[in-house]
Chains A and B, each alone.
Chain A
Amino acid sequence: MSKPTDLVQGTLDLLILKVVALEPMHGWAVAQRIRQMSGDVLQVGQGALYPALHKLEQNGWISSEWAVSENNRRAKYYTLTKDGRKALQREAADWERLATAISLIVRAV
């Protein structure tokens, strides 16, 4: 039920898209990758991860298929779609703009 309070609203989608863009991966790996890549700063609450994945899939930004995972078990792998790539570019650009704007204000004395 809880949303990732440590993440700016809406950025979870961006993170997932970015991570999945690297290679197809399953949910657990997505969470792990985000944690690793952020240097353990961003802990994605798993309660938020799966709903987000399902929503992105419904949006048609990622697609899923079942495959055998690295430890020989069936897992659901998510892949970025063409639409998803466009969405990622859009979201990333938005984020850049936002981050720049925020840092401009924060650094200003």
Chain B
Amino acid sequence: MRLANIARLRLRSLFKRMRVEQELDEELRYHVARQTEENIAAGMSRKEARYAALRLLEGFEQNKEECRDMRGLNLVETAMQDLRYGIRSLRKNPGFAVAAVLVMALGIGANTAVFSVVNSVLLKPLAYRDSDRIVTLASAWKSGATERLVALPDFRDWHDQSTAFSAMGCYRSSEEPARANSETEYVRVARVSPEFFRVLAVEPAIGREFDAQEERSNDSAVALISYSYWQSHLGGNSSVLGTSVHIAGQPLLIVGVLPPRFHFPENSDIWRPLDSVDRTLPRTSFSFLAMARLKPNVSIEQARAQLASIAGRLENQYPDTNKNRGVAIAGMRDDMVSNVRLTLYLLLGAVCLVLLIACANVTTLLLAKATARTREIAIRAAVGAGRGRILRQLITESLLLAFIAGAVGLMVAWVIAKGLIELAPADVPRLAEAGIDGRVLLFTACISLVCSLIFGMIPAIHASRLDLSDALKQGGARAAGAGRSSRLREALVVVEIALSVMLLAGAGLLLKSFVALNNVALGFRPERVMLMKASYPASDRQGEERARRFFKQLLSDIAGVPGVSAAGATMGPPGHVESAGSYWTDHLPQRTRTNPEGTVDAVFSVATPGTFRALGIPLIRGRDFSDSDAAGAPLTAVINETLARKAFPGQDPIGRLLFAGFDSDKAMKIVGIVGDVRQWGPARRPDSEIYMPFEQHMAGAGTTLIVVVRTSGVPEALTDTLRRTVHDLAPDVPVKFTTMEASLSEEVAAPRFRTLLLGIFAGLSICLAVAGVYGVTAYIAGQRLNEIGLRVAMGATPSQVLRLILRRAVLLATVGMALGFAGSVAGARLITALLFEVASDDPVIYSAVAVLLGTVMLLASYLPARRASRLDPLVALRQE
């Protein structure tokens, strides 16, 4: 009852505002009238009486305002009013409004864009049912080394002995030549174990999964295809079931089509059961990725404990192979994004600093505006606006500003996000899904709100603390509080400079890493090298023989193409390790055991004669492979310098015997030593490496090779000629071209992405900081105009005045940079993992940052200072 009554009154205050106002007015008028009558009765004149009555009321308008407050004249009401004032005041100052909105929109937009990527890559759940139950399984050694790949026998034991999972699957995928209609092209084909689709909770949109018989029998010729492959290669025809797709010349019966957008793993378009070779791989062959679905009531810790005890049993059962080997288990999403997490958080942090700088800039703008508005605010206070009321009004204005900026920022974000996706390395998972969704909008709204609080609060509190009479007396920009305001601005500039230093130092460190990464001695010459992938279909010995002849003929044909200076072929170009494992010298041990630490002993490579010359890998001793190293001839090998140093210290390796666990355990005679190559990409030191001639190892190398062509001109110019050369020899061999430099560039795509973005953010921050320093110096000069005029009149030279102004600016810059360096040293430790051959406290980078920023800051303050020093004293003094 009572509540309803109060609610009614409050609503009345809000909606019948005019009525309430009128009544208030009338009530107070009545009071004045009665008092006036009383006063007249007491003998005053009419005028005197009314004046006395009014005086008693102690300010008619103030009284009304206080009555309104007591009515709790609603927040909504004043908010609407403030909003109207806000819009009006922004429109009165379009320059200020545009500048502030643009600066903020840039900050908010950049944040929103980076967040939309973080959201899509790191935060959003995977697009599978109950995806948080999906985990990945990997091999882990007690030494701490982990290997994402698992051995199939291990996987089988985990699968059969565990109870924590409702499904467990493994898979491998590779690019293979596939033909659905007329043309053969490379398509990613996944080999999957039973339960693969059950782990992901995916069912075919059309047709069926593999049946138990197909999954168990060796080499069952069936396949599932992706929805998009069905649409693009088979016309989306519903009679697709029962037709076939050819892979490496073998026809596979299509039994089903998976739902749209399903391409796991990577960008697979075709799925088929494991083959007979897969099923017989030993415990030492790490070839598969594994994943599982946790049962609904099982935690990841319970599953981990169960797998650990299974791994323990395997250690006892198979000590030769499984000693010290365990299982690593992780949430699938976390596992997928583990490589990019640090980079993305770094970018988010950097872009956050940019936003803070933008906020500081807008705060100084608002502060200047508040100072200019001193008189307006004083008048509002004088006519009865309380301090809270003025505060609210100013905060409403900054909220308005922030939300306009947020809206513009969303557009900016859309553009930036597009750029981000464009620039990002190709292997960032789920990046393409990045976009603006509800969560991103919420994020934008939140940061806009936080920003408006940051940059609105300080000037608002400052302005509301005005001394009324002072402000009204002096008026204008030189009002009381100017001293306090300029101190505040200086503090803000110091903060801006400090944050800029941090961004610049971070960008500098990454840049130096990136340069180091690009200048690393790779061990070969990547320029003017074309890489051509080619696969010859072969499913039996005869096919293998045809493939051998094909590649031999192809290489000799290519060597004759004008513009080609050398040609060879290899299993994988430098930067892509296709195989690695243990080796033994002189004789094979009785019992072979794998490296218990899980580390690589040597990289296994297969190459044709001429490959070293084509890649520019120097031959140190001995000879290159030749045509005499043929299939029937005694096995030979070439080793790199690291292996020679490790396995044959102080001895001559040429002529010694070598055994490698690649495709046979026969002895190979070492015939040559070549220089080291960074096999794992520029960031990792070279490992030992064994090169084996292609013709002697076709069983292990297969019939897909990367043909390496060194050209005398631009490598791309030869693309068509090479394609024709292949086509003339074998029309159904698919080819795929890239250059060595492009392939390397992919290796450093992630560092390049980080460096570029941090560089952009740092540049942005410098621009903002320069604007801040310029503004503050100009302001200080303006404040001291009178003083400067006096000094000049008393005989001060322009250079003395210049020093006077600059001294302050230099002080600010110094303090800001000192703070910034302290922050950088602390912050840089977080990104140590992203640095390459650069310490996080690299003195060169820090000095460069100091010089660069110092110069820029000096320039930014020099201009307004010089203007002040050239002042005509008469003009300056007259201004007062």
- Where the two chains meet, the residues of B that have a C-beta atom closer than 8 Å to any C-beta of A are 2, 5-6, 9-10, 23, 26-28, 30-31, 33-35, 37, 56-59, 62-63, 66-67, 69-72
Contacts and interface: CB of A to CB of B under 8 A. Distances in A.
A59 B37 CA distance: 32
Contacts of B27: 26-27, 50, 75-76
A9 interface: no
A5 interface: no
A73 interface: yes
B807 to A, nearest CB: 45
Nearest to B3: A60
B9 A58 contact: yes
Interface in A10-37: 26-28
Contacts of B66: 1, 47, 50-51
14 contacts: A27-B30, A27-B31, A28-B30, A28-B34, A47-B59, A50-B66, A50-B67, A54-B71, A58-B9, A58-B71, A59-B6, A71-B34, A74-B30, A75-B27
A60 to B, nearest CB: 5
A54 B301 CA distance: 64
A89 B535 CA distance: 100
A47 B27 CA distance: 13
B841 to A, nearest CB: 59
Contact of A50 (B2, B37, B63): B63
Given A1-B59, A47-B66, 8 more contacts: A27-B27, A28-B31, A46-B56, A47-B59, A50-B67, A54-B70, A76-B30, A83-B2
A57 B26 CA distance: 17
A63 B627 CA distance: 111
A90 interface: no
A60 B34 contact: no
Contacts, number: 72
A38 interface: no
A76 B23 contact: yes
A83 B37 CA distance: 35
Contacts of A57: 9, 71
Contacts of B37: 71
A96 B7 CA distance: 33
A37 to B, nearest CB: 17
Q: Which 4 A-B pairs have the closest CB atoms?
A: A47-B58, A55-B70, A54-B70, A28-B34
Contacts of A69: 30
A20 to B, nearest CB: 15
A46 B31 CA distance: 9
A103 interface: no
A28 B30 CA distance: 8
Contact of B2 (A28, A60, A66): A60
Contact of A51 (B5, B23, B63): B63
A26 B67 contact: no
Contact of A58 (B6, B33, B63): B6
Contacts of B58: 1-2, 45-47
B4 to A, nearest CB: 10
Contacts of B35: 28, 46
Contacts of A55: 70-71
B526 to A, nearest CB: 80
B30 A46 contact: no
A60 B6 contact: yes
A28 B34 CA distance: 7
A52 B27 CA distance: 14
B39 to A, nearest CB: 12
A47 B62 CA distance: 9
A58 B10 contact: yes
B434 to A, nearest CB: 52
Nearest to A50: B67
A19 B6 CA distance: 22
A57 B56 CA distance: 23
B30 A73 contact: yes
A75 to B, nearest CB: 5
B22 to A, nearest CB: 11
Nearest to B26: A74
Contacts of B23: 66, 76
